[in-house]
Chain A
């Protein structure tokens, strides 16, 4: 915990690995939220869930 985090240096982009991983997880979560089926109490179609 006391050691400095490793950094990713790519051109003008400089970001710590934990921050980079967190942003990746957030992007993944956002994409999943767009495509993942949402539970519904009243299925309008055939009702398979």
Chain B
């Protein structure tokens, strides 16, 4: 059986988030299984299932070149900036 990744959207206005994976022979069964396995407690307003083989993943060996450069750029965090006095609505 094929492996599928499951994404749930909890409410309108939210985005789909990955919650896990499951086995199914086709898309219809994947949706049904996702409903049965991941939405037993009212977690979802919408389900996406995607064949795991369709996911393109980064190589763990590339983590230094991909992610390390972001580590010292503290100015990319909003907390880096001091809010001047008198600025409203922040």
Same complex for A and B? Answer: no
Residues of A within 8 A of B (CB): none
Residues of B within 8 A of A (CB): none
